[in-house]
Amino acid sequence: MQTLNVNLGERSYPIYIGAGLLGKQDLLGKHVKGSQVLIVTNETVAPLYLVKTQKMLTDFQVETLILPDGEEYKNLATLNKIYSKLLEIKFNRNCTLAALGGGVIGDITGFGAASYQRGVNFMQIPTTLLAQVDSSVGGKTGVNHELGKNMIGAFHQPQCVLIDTNTLATLDERQFAAGLAEIIKYGLINDADFFSYLATNMDLLLAKDRAVIASAVQTSCHNKAQVVALDEKESGIRALLNLGHTFAHAIESGMGYGKWLHGEAVASGMLMAADLSVKMGWLKENEFTQIKDLITRANLPVRGPGMEVEKYLKIMALDKKSANGIIRLILLKAIGQATVVSEYSNNLLRETLKEFG
């Protein structure tokens, strides 16, 4: 087991990474404050890992809530089911919520914890690759609105993150590939050596080689933890973690939540960002080709669903990074060097959306 730390003063917490961690008695209990624990999971994950998680918490009053599976359920109606359950079982403000599942479960459970009785504790137990390397770390919680993804939420840090890499064995190829998009992102924004490592080892990653997966997960979590420690609430450098996400959120919202997986949308969004970076005269053509090749090898889309340019622009204008009517984008000066940009050519953006959107 490897342990990383997210250093946020009194809100600091550990990330436990290893194979076979689910079921180990000593890992979760020490992070529970109070005596009441609600495990929130979904219909897909519960049959696989709920019993193992319950066995880690035998010293507490443990209740469970099983939600439907899918991005289309990441909304206020589903969030209300968490509140109703907590109130029905009379959980107090010293209770702890445990999010067992992928990014949707982590985000919605975290937001439930952030807002129930003005804030209670929670723990992240991510079971998908995307959640393990991205959404479980950093304290971003929330739900979607029909007009925009993740537009309702709060920053609320977990007590710990427990990553059992054995859970990746049960992921289908599409879900696994979706997680690879976020891994590739870390190489693009600030770690060119990691990008090269991924290019060398992509075939082993796709084969779910244990050593390569462990290295990729650890490096991704390390990179994110460092950025979050410097900018917890995304007032500066943390925005770089959104490379491709402004385009991606437009795809997810515009196509209907659940049609495209988040990682699939991020992959095509990163290619759009890379293409615009080339058009701006920053990213070299051969670097764009390297990015496109790696995303293709990861079984991810390099083009969006073909939405109209005006639809993209309308949805992107609602992005949380937008300010004073200007869509701010994360673009690339080079592989491993991302930057936040407010000044760019709208005509070039339109060309990118037309070609790759």
| CATH value at residue 299 | 1.20.1090.10
Instruction: For tokens 């080709």, name the residue.
Output: 289
Report the C-alpha gap between 33 and 92 in whole angstroms. Answer: 11
On whether both 76 and 199 belong to a single domain, the answer is no
pLDDT at 253 over 80: yes
Catalytic residues: 118, 140, 182, 224, 234, 238, 242, 245, 249, 262
Contacts of 30 (CB under 8 A, 6+ apart): none
Under the banding of pLDDT at 50, 70 and 90, the label for residue 252 is very high
pLDDT at 241 over 80: yes
Put simply, whether the predicted model's pTM sits higher than 0.85 gets the answer yes
What's the chain's average pLDDT? 96
On whether both 343 and 231 belong to a single domain, the answer is yes
**What SS3 class is residue 32?**
coil
The reply to whether 151 falls in a domain is: yes
Find the distance separating the first CA and the last CA of the chain, reported in whole Å.
41
The reply to whether 119 falls in a domain is: yes
Is there a contact between 255 and 264 (Cβ–Cβ < 8 Å)?
Answer: no
Under the banding of pLDDT at 50, 70 and 90, the label for residue 261 is very high
On whether both 202 and 148 belong to a single domain, the answer is no
pLDDT at 235 over 90: no
pLDDT at 326 over 90: no
pLDDT given at position 321: 74
Under the banding of pLDDT at 50, 70 and 90, the label for residue 16 is very high
Report the C-alpha gap between 45 and 188 in whole angstroms. Answer: 31
On whether both 152 and 225 belong to a single domain, the answer is no
Transcribe 182-198 into DSSP letters.
Answer: HHHHHHHHH-HHHHHHH
The reply to whether 37 falls in a domain is: yes
Is there a contact between 252 and 260 (Cβ–Cβ < 8 Å)?
Answer: yes
pLDDT given at position 322: 76
Contacts of 289 (CB under 8 A, 6+ apart): none
Under the banding of pLDDT at 50, 70 and 90, the label for residue 320 is confident
On whether both 139 and 273 belong to a single domain, the answer is no
Structural domain containing residue 203: 186-356
Report the C-alpha gap between 43 and 29 in whole angstroms. Answer: 24
CA distances from 141 to 15, 19, 55, 178 (A): 17, 26, 26, 19
On whether both 195 and 165 belong to a single domain, the answer is no
On whether both 196 and 158 belong to a single domain, the answer is no
On whether both 118 and 198 belong to a single domain, the answer is no
Measured at the alpha carbon of residue 238, what is the angle toward residues 233 and 240, in degrees to the nearest 5?
Answer: 150
The reply to whether 179 falls in a domain is: no
pLDDT given at position 318: 85
In the chain, the amino acid numbered 64 is: T
